[in-house]
């Protein structure tokens, strides 16, 4: 049996607009700073935007690899921040559903690239579509990104419930983005855990546990970095949000 040293982590969210790709990209840069070899795979196959966040203009994407027009190794690109990326083409309607062909190709790609990295972060789409759920199923760990907003909490709960009931997930990690005050992360985790304990865990063979992996404060520097298409922890490493990302990466390594 082959032992795979790499750790595959799905970064997902119940709804869009919570900063999932922003967190994934900056978390990758923070892990790289800590000496880890990191790849971020843009698994939002139909609405990819990791290239926009990183200000990259790829000539080769996953679409080219899937269609046989390019080699996988040529599609893996260096990104600002010291990590690597595997980008998807945006607006590819054929990837909006998880066909058997796309399923097989995505799994093959991940299996091929994983041995070359310590961490592979799968930046999934938002929600609970079949594409998102299949992508998450390929990961060892799941990080759910949420904000303190009620709609985000509702959709995060829906995601957690589906992953627990359909994939047997019993431990999920939570990163609370756009925290307005210190302690918001613990409050959000507690709120979600209480609902899961009441409505989800009693229906399962064992309870579901949510671990608070990190809290990223609300910070004007985030919007500035996004508009400039720059990694925040590279350009503004001392800002509250940057420090929150670094603490999240450090805890992620300590828990491994």
71 in any annotated domain: yes
Helix ranges (DSSP H) in the chain: 20-33, 50-53, 62-66, 72-75, 100-113, 130-137, 150-167, 184-199, 220-228, 232-235, 240-255
Q: Is residue 208 part of a domain?
A: no
Residue 3: the pLDDT is: 44
Whole-number mean pLDDT of the chain? 92
pLDDT at residue 73, rounded to an integer:
95
103, two tokens: 């399923």
Instruction: Look at residue 90 in the predicted model and tell me its pLDDT.
Output: 64
Q: What is the pLDDT of residue 2?
A: 44
In a domain? residue 21: yes
Per-residue pLDDT, 209 = 98
Q: Is residue 207 one of the residues assigned to a domain? A: no
Residue spans of the chain under pLDDT 70: 1-4, 90-97
pLDDT, residue 45, reads: 80
Phi, psi of 43 (to 5 degrees): -95, 10
pLDDT at 155: 97
Range of the domain at 38: 7-145+221-255
Full-model pTM: 0.94
The reply to whether 199 falls in a domain is no
Q: What is the pLDDT of residue 89?
A: 72
164: which residues sit within 8 A by CB, 6+ positions away? 170, 172, 196, 200, 204, 208
In a domain, 248, yes or no: yes
pLDDT recorded at residue 96: 62
Q: Give the CATH number of the domain where residue 88 resides.
A: 3.40.50.300
Q: How many domains does the chain have?
A: 1
Residue 187 in any domain: the answer is no
Question: Strand 84-86 relative to strand 76-78: parallel, antiparallel, unpaired?
Answer: antiparallel
């Amino acid at each position: 049996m082959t032992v795979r040293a790499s750790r595959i982590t799905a970064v997902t969210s119940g709804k869009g607009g919570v900063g999932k790709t922003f967190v994934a990209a900056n978390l990758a840069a923070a892990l790289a700073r800590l000496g880890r070899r990191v790849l971020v795979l843009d698994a939002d196959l139909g609405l990819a935007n990791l290239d926009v966040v990183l200000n990259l203009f790829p000539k080769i994407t996953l679409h080219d690899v899937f269609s046989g027009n390019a080699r996988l190794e040529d599609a893996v690109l260096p990104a600002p921040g010291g990590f690597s990326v595997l980008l998807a083409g945006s607006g590819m309607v054929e990837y909006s559903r998880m066909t058997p062909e796309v399923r097989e190709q995505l799994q093959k790609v991940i299996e091929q690239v994983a041995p070359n990295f310590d961490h592979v972060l799968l930046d999934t789409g938002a929600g609970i579509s079949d594409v998102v759920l299949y992508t998450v199923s390929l990961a060892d760990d799941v990080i759910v990104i949420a904000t303190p907003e009620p709609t985000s909490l509702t959709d995060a709960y829906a995601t957690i419930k589906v992953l627990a009931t359909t994939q047997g997930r019993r431990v999920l990690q939570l990163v609370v983005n756009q925290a307005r005050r210190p302690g918001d992360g613990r409050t959000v985790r507690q709120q979600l855990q209480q609902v899961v304990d009441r409505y989800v865990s009693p229906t399962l063979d064992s309870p579901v546990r949510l671990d608070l992996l990190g809290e990223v404060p609300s910070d004007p520097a985030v919007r500035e970095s996004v508009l400039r298409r720059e990694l925040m922890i590279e350009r503004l490493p001392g800002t509250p949000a940057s420090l929150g990302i670094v603490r999240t990466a450090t805890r992620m390594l300590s828990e491994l």
